[in-house]
Amino acid sequence: MSITIFSQGRNTSRWENALKERRPGLEVHIYPDTGPAEEVEFALAWNHPPGAFANFPNLKCISSTGAGVDHILRDPELPAGVQITRIVDEDLTQDMATFVTAQVLNHVRGLHRYKEAQRSHTWEQHRYKRTSDVVIGVMGMGVLGTHTAQQLSKLGFKVHGWSRSPKLMEGVGAFAGMEELPTFLEKANILICLLPLTKETADILNKDTLSKLPKGAYVINVARGEHVVDEDLIQMLDQGHLSGASLDVFREEPLPEEHPFWEHPLIHVTPHIASITNPASAVSQILENYDRMRHGESLINVVSKNKGY
């Protein structure tokens, strides 16, 4: 038995090396050099070639190399009986919370303005809000959203979370379901999207949703580009309803050179670097699932195909 890596546009050698270092003697294949198709039972995947998994009749488990699994579930030829798992990793979680916190503080303290002032040799002090005066809304209260919300709450921000079902925790207000979304949005000075990408959440950051935010609200998207309707976001910025946006994910990546996000003065673009899986810390859970699969045991971090997360 072996582990086969399916990936397009990513450096697979880091995963191969991490697996072999942790498990000397483990056979690792890189698609399309898989060896006999009937021997492929465990796959490691990110942005795999569509339809690739359909060629392996004995495939039992596909492990995403990240926290998201939408790139796997969107495959129309995904084998029905295969279990899907994802990465739940402390490094990945903390990296996300740190990045989001940095974007929040940059906005609240207006640090970008001082960079602009430095270029023109302008000495000018600006007023700023204190953390206790800012309400943050976190959309998506899974592992990443929960940890991010808790970290922001510890800094003194008023934090609310919105999710499919209520997630009760100290220091974070709980909102759930579409019926409570308008009230959640009306309170948020800063909106952070950490939702999984599903049929229900695609295009959720549209004109109708964004218009319910208070005037001057700031949007941070570190989930998936498909959550945002690009034209609607630009319209809300141009009309002055939103004060700005920090975007780390996009519908097409890399972001095309001609995309208006690049040049928009109120949009901060980063190239999907908010939280990147560290193979060295993640391979232990991958190998645990590999061993569980071999011994017929229940897997960890299994994804519900119906829910999409």
Any catalytic annotation for residue 109? no
Any catalytic annotation for residue 224? yes
SS3 assignment for the chain? CCEEEEECCCCCHHHHHHHHHHCCCCCEEECCECCCHHHCCEEEEECCCCCHHHHCCCCCEEEECCCCCHHHHCCCCCCCCCEEECCCCHHHHHHHHHHHHHHHHHHHHCHHHHHHHHHCCCCCCCCCCCHHHCEEEEECCCHHHHHHHHHHHHCCCEEEEEECCCCCECCEEEEEHHHHHHHHHHHCCEEEECCCCCCCCCCCECHHHHHCCCCCEEEEECCCHHHECHHHHHHHHHCCCEEEEEECCCCCCCCCCCCCCCCCCCEEECCCCCCCCCHHHHHHHHHHHHHHHHCCCCCCCECCCCCCC
Q: Which residue in 9, 8, 3 sits closest to 25, CA to CA? A: 3
- Catalytic member of 86, 147, 224, 227: 224
- Catalytic member of 29, 264, 268, 272: 272
Could you list the active site residues?
224, 272
